[in-house]
Amino acid sequence: MLEIRDLHVSVEDKEILKGVNLVIPKGEIHAIMGRNGSGKSTLSYVMAGKSGYEITKGEIILDGVNILDMEPNERASAGLFLAFQYPIEIPGVATMTFLKAAMNAQRKARGEEELSTPDFMREVKQAAKMLEIDNKMLKRALNVGFSGGEKKRAEILQMALLKPKMCVFDETDSGLDIDALRIVSQGVNALRDANRSMLVITHYQRLLNYIIPDVVHVFSNGKIVKSGDKSLALELEEKGYAQYDESAA
Amino acid sequence: MPAVKETIDQVKEIDLEKYKYGFETDIKSDKAPKGLSEDIVRFISAKKDEPEWMLEWRLDAYKRWLTMDEPDWAKLDYPKIDFNDIYFYSAPKSTPGPKSLDEVDPDLLETYKKLGIPLSEQAVLAGVEGAKIAVDAVFDSVSVVTTFREELAKSGIIFCSISEAIKEHPDLIKKYLGSVVPVTDNYYSTLNCAVFTDGSFVYIPKGVRCPMELSTYFRINEKNTGQFERTLIIAEEDTYVSYLEGCTAPMRDENQLHAAVVELVALENAEIKYSTVQNWYPGNKEGVGGIYNFVTKRGDCRGDNSKISWTQVETGSAITWKYPSCILRGDGSRGEFYSIAISNGYQQIDSGTKMIHLGKNTSSKVIAKGIAAGFSDNTYRGLISAHKKAKNARNFTQCDSLLIGDKCGAHTIPYIEAKNSSVIFEHEATTSKISDEQMFYCQQRGLNEEEAVALIVNGFVRDVLQHLPMEFMVETQKLINISLEGSVG
Ligand SMILES: Nc1ncnc2c1ncn2[C@@H]1O[C@H](COP(=O)(O)OP(=O)(O)OP(=O)(O)O)[C@@H](O)[C@H]1O
Ligand SMILES: [Mg+2]
């Protein structure tokens, strides 16, 4: 379970998150929608522990532990996964090599044994098949020269292998064609689990037809201004964000 | 403070002191008096029981050296070396020369075992993959043992210490020693001619493909000892040989001098592949101690269609001054240089290559990857030249530098000379930093800072890594990780 309590975050003395409160119980999927620049990516980065943000107030609690004091890799090993809006290129490092390094690093951090190569290969093949990722891509350097859609698929592949407890998707649907959207959504749905929570950041109601959220939150000017069930997404699509502008100010 | 940060700080604390090979072996040694003089040159020659002509050669080099000045063009900064404060000869007392394995001092064997060098032929033969490596082990100034000699001799290959070759194969030595690197080539190589103590000798007779990797392992053990090794490899027509060189030294507060000369001769259709993993002690984290590594390595593609390929992984030494080069004399000959040079702490590296195109249709390829971390300085210096007669000479050079942190430096200094208009020389260079975004991305997937740096660096050097013999690749990846410990934060 994830709990964010009264989170305030500034960058260079400019307050970007202005008191975020959010609870995602185990097994639930929540969606966040909101204007460009309202602070959604910032929230996901702060959850994952990226440096450069000043947390002036608040807590982020994952399964009873305040993770704000933890390094990004410790949070990852504790089960937090962020699918990036813009995945990063790692030249010269084959996707396969990266996957193995990440899985073993997390296992090591949790005091588990390293995966044997056959076990690793089996898991990768299985996950890659589900996401319709071919072998050639696994041999290429991670994200280098990948198309937008391939990058997003590679993110979900990593998530499928790392089996996190808390998944955050930052605009995973943007840049995907219709088929890719279906494949990625299937991948995400396959990971739906009673012990796993998910937070889906998106601009489009369309994604939520595939990944059906339990709760939809509207994000405006650095905080959640309204929450509701999935029909809220439809309403937003119809009426836009204007009704929420400054409504909380 | 988060636990991981703390661990990283602890690692930083030990930093370079974690040098894995920093143990010393307590063995009585037989040393020449400190300092350099004509008498010392005579002493070394006498210790090795050398023929008169060899002594003359050394004395001549010594006289010439006295008239020379230390070069100062490299981007290196170090106090003047006091050549009178160095022991120029040190041999483990129990082992004055190469012997069969059963006679080697068990302490010495133990040392090599700790270093992971298989000196027992049985142990190697019992190895799972059956990959055989013949080893010549050089301890301070002498070769202590050479393995697999008999098996190699069956195909006519000579693999022994240079001291032995001087006595056993004087014709080959007279013909080839100093024929690639002339006696007065440079300050350090001339010094080496006068005082070289040991090294390896390889001769591949016509038409033979060497059936196993040959390798030499150098270790400096004694305090204040210079190591001046001399290696000579001769590949006759239609031959192939792959040779590996590894180096370590214990941790010492003072700087130790290492000035080697390596000469390669490739005749028609011969191919020599020379790989080095250099991990001399780099000094501690304040920059105290470490090896001064002034090396002259040169290969002569003397025959048509011959090929010489240098692959080097440079992670050690306080100072590295080294330019493995190829003289492309034969028509259609090829030269290659693949390099990974990693500097951390206060290490300084000025390294690169020279490709001298003399023959027609000669080609060369240079891929150099420099990684600088800590307070280190890492310079690539390369010369590509084509003679008037070198019609259609071709070169491709790619130099990439990666900076870790903002207190280190990377520099690329290419020199290009083309004396005819048919040459095509291409040069590409990049300098990059590991970005915060890359670090965060890797960490988000569970890698800690050190693991993330190591992974990114391994990706950066991949094009070069794949030119190393299989046996060296895994070791090298580990070495890269160790060398970069404490480079972040
Ligand atoms: N490092 C930074 N330095 C300065 N300003 C920043 C920084 N990071 C974010 N911001 C600002 O914070 C605000 C929120 O940015 P954020 O990327 O979180 O928005 P978003 O909701 O994800 O937008 P989009 O829908 O376009 O992805 C923006 O005004 C952005 O310019
Ligand atoms: Mg965003």
Number of structural domains, chain A? 1
Q: Which of B119, B138, B130 is nearest to B201 (CA)?
A: B138
Which residues have a Cβ under 8 Å from the Cβ of B264 and sit 6 or more positions away? B180, B233, B235, B272, B274, B297, B298, B299, B300, B308
Q: Which of B449, B475, B467 is nearest to B12 (CA)?
A: B449
| Radius of gyration for the alpha carbons in chain B, expressed in angstroms and rounded | 22
Which residue matches tokens 């070495």?
A: B479
**If you average pLDDT over each of B27-41, B100-114, B128-142, B391-405, which comes out highest?**
B391-405
Work out the average pLDDT over A147-174.
92
- pLDDT for residue B43: 87
In a domain, B489, yes or no: no
Q: Relative to the alpha carbon of A218, which ligand is closest? A: 1
Question: Cβ of B473 under 8 Å from any chain A Cβ?
Answer: no
Chain A hits for B445, CB-CB cut-off 8 Å, are 73, 76, 98, 102, 105-106, 158, 162
Average pLDDT of chain A is 91
Please name the residue of chain B whose CA is at the shortest distance from the CA of residue A76.
Answer: B446
For residue A49, the number of C-alpha atoms closer than 13 Å in the C-beta half-sphere is 27
A85 CA distance to ligand 2 middle (Å)? 7
- pLDDT for residue B481: 76
The range of the structural domain enclosing residue A153 comes to 2-248
The answer to whether B195 touches B40, Cβ cutoff 8 Å, is yes
In a domain, B79, yes or no: yes
In a domain, B138, yes or no: yes
- For the whole model, what pTM was predicted? 0.82
CA–CA gap between residue A2 and residue B343 (Å, rounded): 44
Number of structural domains, chain B? 1
B268 CA distance to ligand 2 middle (Å)? 63
Work out the average pLDDT over B8-19.
38
B24, burial (CB in 10 Å: exposed 0-12, middle 13-18, buried 19+): middle
The range of the structural domain enclosing residue B381 comes to 2-483
Work out the average pLDDT over A19-47.
94
**Which pLDDT tens digit goes with each residue over B17-61?**
445 555 555 555 666 777 788 888 998 898 888 999 999 999 999
- pLDDT for residue B20: 52
So what's the ipTM on this one?
A: 0.95
**Which pLDDT tens digit goes with each residue over B401-457?**
999 888 889 999 999 999 999 999 999 999 988 889 999 999 999 999 989 998 999
Among A8, A15, A32, A40, say which to mutate for ligand 1: greatest number of ligand atoms within 8 Å of CB.
A40
In a domain, B64, yes or no: yes
A37 CA distance to ligand 1 middle (Å)? 5
- The first and second tokens of residue B125, run together, are 């033969």
Question: Cβ of B436 under 8 Å from any chain A Cβ?
Answer: yes
**Which pLDDT tens digit goes with each residue over A162-175?**
999 999 999 988 88
Q: Which of A130, A134, A175, A135 is nearest to A152 (CA)?
A: A175
H or E segment to which residue A233 belongs: helix A231-239
In whole angstroms, how far apart are CA B267 and each of B235, B239, B275, B302, B308?
6, 9, 19, 5, 10
The lowest-confidence range among A240-244, B123-127, B191-195, B324-328 is B123-127
- pLDDT for residue A204: 86
CATH code at position A75: 3.40.50.300
The lowest-confidence range among B74-78, B132-136, B300-304, B467-471 is B132-136
The residue with greater pLDDT, B70 or B169, is B169
pLDDT band with cut points at 50, 70 and 90 for residue A51: very high
Q: Do B451 and A50 touch (CB under 8 A)?
A: no
Question: Cβ of B451 under 8 Å from any chain A Cβ?
Answer: yes
- pLDDT for residue B12: 36
Judge whether residue A120 has pLDDT over 90. Answer: yes
**Which pLDDT tens digit goes with each residue over B226-285?**
678 899 999 999 999 999 887 665 555 566 788 899 999 999 999 999 988 877 777 777
